[in-house]
Amino acid sequence: MDTPLFQPIPGMVDLTAPEVLLWQHLEEQARQLLPLYGFSEIRTPALEYTPVFTRSLGETTDVVQKEMYTFADRGGRSLTLRPEGTAGVIRYAAGQGAAAEGARLYYLGPMFRCERPQAGRKRQFHQLGVESFGEPNPAADVEVIALQQHLFQSWGLHAFTIDINTRGLPEDRPAVTAGLAAAARPHLDALCADCRRRFDTNIFRLLDCKQAACRQVVDTLPDPASFMSAPSRVYLAEVVRLLQGLNLPVRVNPRLVRGLDYYIHTVWEIRHPALGAQDALSGGGRYRVTLDTKPFDGVGFAAGLERAVMAVQHDQPDRLAALQPPRPVWLVALGPAAREANLRLAQELRQGGCACGLDLGDRSLKAQLRAANRVGAAWAVLRGDRELAAGTATLKNLQDGTQVELPLADVVTKLNAVKGRGTTS
């Protein structure tokens, strides 16, 4: 019954240096890239009325049925911590009416799903997503896929694969379900228990079962697209043609299945081999959400940042080390007068843009230099009563051990010039 004093909730982590530097780097890259495509940021609340999610994602999806953090507020209204980003952005954009037509928004922030944590899956996780609103148009889908490829490239990723598929139009779904059921029914006995259940509940799920026996059966099934209407098939063909025109290395995978109900037409998934069992780096697709009988169309994707960080550490193992902040200057004081003077000096240096640190306690010179060494300082500034009286400071180069006593103003000038970086003047 011990309440953990020092641990966060399972599946939620404290993200700190050095790893957080890599997060910041990926975020900066994204914020630089997305405006090139005309996307601007939206920050929606983390908490929404529960129906915002249930009506968009589909009542029967796993996310809605068993993964949401849902609770009642003091007035008894049902609230939910967002399990994904699209529903909230649609809630906003639909509320803007016609002004939202063609809007391009991106979001970046924490999402929450009450699942069992494992590698690459947290209960509080982070997604970067984009939404491009407007009528279905293969070019819009292709542009978003290209953006994603560009983004991952800017992160230094290269080992990923892009699979696309089509879900067709909503009105095709009965025919596809019936067609798949007819083809699979003779093989029911060969399927695993899960798949026998899926046969009735959601036959599409057969397609991505990992069991070897089920895969054998699935390989004999016809392409679901073969049961779709001509417009659905033409749409996919056009997407593929445009992707080829951009030389994007995309594979059409008829067995790709996505979990949310709102998808129509194009869906895709980007996978990376370094991610373990949860190998989807991002997923996306075209969607249609009906609000108040009015259809709301868009295309977008969401990328898992935890997974992106893992992938970058795999593809660019040296990236993190290159992000270390500049080595600071360390101010060393001998005696209380110098300590107080150093506090002022530190502020002066920092105002000038020079990173520095200092010992706030009453420690020996030896201990202070050891501390300077520990933080990787390139320079130490030493001051005691002697320097204070003379208006000087001793500037020590911690790389080669040389030191020189200079007027304080010269030391400040010099350090501001190097801004705390390592190399000698």
Partner RNA sequence: GCGACCGUAGCUCAGUUGGUUAGAGCACCAGAUUGUGGAUCUGGGUGUCGCGGGUUCGAUCCCCGUCGGUCGCCCCA
- For binding to RNA (CB under 7 A), which residues are involved? 1-2, 4, 7, 10-11, 61-63, 67, 84, 113, 115-122, 125, 127, 194, 198, 205, 209-210, 257-260, 269, 276-283, 302-304, 306-307, 334, 363-367, 369-370, 372-374, 382, 384-387, 394, 396-401, 403
Three-state DSSP state, 272: coil
Instruction: Please state whether beta strands 280-291 and 263-271 pair in parallel, antiparallel, or not at all (unpaired).
Output: antiparallel
Comparison of 14 and 292: residue with beta carbon closer to RNA: 14
Q: In the complex, what is the shortest distance from the CB of residue 70 to RNA, in angstroms, rounded to a whole number?
A: 14
Q: In the complex, what is the shortest distance from the CB of residue 62 to RNA, in angstroms, rounded to a whole number?
A: 4
**Beta-carbon neighbour count of residue 71 at 10 Å?**
12
Instruction: Please state whether beta strands 124-133 and 104-112 pair in parallel, antiparallel, or not at all (unpaired).
Output: antiparallel
Comparison of 231 and 384: residue with beta carbon closer to RNA: 384
* DSSP string for 213-253: HHHHHHHHSPPGGGGS-HHHHHHHHHHHHHHHHTT--EEE-
Q: In the complex, what is the shortest distance from the CB of residue 344 to RNA, in angstroms, rounded to a whole number?
A: 18
Query: What residue type is assigned to position 376 of the chain?
Result: G
Give the angle 316-306-328 at the CA atoms, nearest 5°: 60
Comparison of 102 and 325: residue with beta carbon closer to RNA: 325
Instruction: Report how far Cα 188 is from the mean position of its chain's Cα atoms.
Output: 40
Extract the tokens encoding 252: 């059409």
User: Is the bond preceding 18 in cis, omega lying within 30 degrees of 0?
Assistant: yes
| Whether 346 contacts 331, CB under 8 Å | yes
Comparison of 305 and 349: residue with beta carbon closer to RNA: 305
Helix residue spans in 34-172 (DSSP H)? 50-57, 62-66, 86-95, 138-154
Q: In the complex, what is the shortest distance from the CB of residue 131 to RNA, in angstroms, rounded to a whole number?
A: 13
Comparison of 62 and 348: residue with beta carbon closer to RNA: 62
Between CA 69 and CA 123 the distance in angstroms is 10
Query: What residue type is assigned to position 315 of the chain?
Result: D
Candidates 26, 18, 70, 85; CA nearest to 284 is 85
Q: In the complex, what is the shortest distance from the CB of residue 271 to RNA, in angstroms, rounded to a whole number?
A: 8
Q: In the complex, what is the shortest distance from the CB of residue 211 to RNA, in angstroms, rounded to a whole number?
A: 7
Q: In the complex, what is the shortest distance from the CB of residue 39 to RNA, in angstroms, rounded to a whole number?
A: 18
Instruction: Report how far Cα 416 is from the mean position of its chain's Cα atoms.
Output: 36
| Whether 359 contacts 369, CB under 8 Å | no
- Secondary structure letter of residue 273 according to DSSP: G
| Whether 248 contacts 146, CB under 8 Å | yes
Comparison of 139 and 367: residue with beta carbon closer to RNA: 367
Comparison of 97 and 401: residue with beta carbon closer to RNA: 401
Q: In the complex, what is the shortest distance from the CB of residue 263 to RNA, in angstroms, rounded to a whole number?
A: 9
Give the angle 45-48-54 at the CA atoms, nearest 5°: 135
Query: What residue type is assigned to position 195 of the chain?
Result: C
Comparison of 238 and 405: residue with beta carbon closer to RNA: 405
| Dihedral-angle region of residue 127 (phi above 0 means left; psi in -120 to 50 means alpha; beta otherwise) | beta
- Secondary structure letter of residue 18 according to DSSP: T
Q: In the complex, what is the shortest distance from the CB of residue 380 to RNA, in angstroms, rounded to a whole number?
A: 7
Q: In the complex, what is the shortest distance from the CB of residue 223 to RNA, in angstroms, rounded to a whole number?
A: 19
Comparison of 65 and 77: residue with beta carbon closer to RNA: 65
- Secondary structure letter of residue 112 according to DSSP: E
Comparison of 237 and 274: residue with beta carbon closer to RNA: 274
